[in-house]
Amino acid sequence: MPDSKTVGLFFLTALAEIVGCYLPYLWLREGKTAWLLIPGALSLAAFAWLLTLHPTAAGRVYAAYGGVYVFTAILWLWVVDGIKPTAWDLAGSAVALLGMAIIMLGPRAA
């Protein structure tokens, strides 16, 4: 069963990826300064490094991480973009988190 450190690591990893994608988006779509590409690149590098800290096989981490990413992206939509999630957004996030839990908590062959 994942401990609080592992769950926190999932959310930190998702945040690093979202920030790393959001900053170039601001430059490309919102006309913000190109200087945002530097922290964006650093955030994506941190994302890749954080993935290496997860305590299980890489493929399983990537699959389970996807569920946390979906939830975190919807939270970002609300907190950063100021757009309140719909019931469908919340339901989809719940399904994604359930998928993550199934992957991480499922029994493993010895």
39-77 pLDDT, tens digit per residue, is 999 999 999 999 888 876 677 777 888 888 999 999 999
Q: Considering the chain, what percentage of its residues have pLDDT values greater than 70? A: 94
Backbone Cα Rg of the chain: 15
**What is the token pair recorded at 58?**
């890489």
Residue 31 has pLDDT above 80, yes or no: yes
Look at residue 65 in the predicted model and tell me its pLDDT: 82
At residue 2 the predicted structure's pLDDT band, cuts being 50, 70 and 90, is low
Question: The pTM is what?
Answer: 0.81
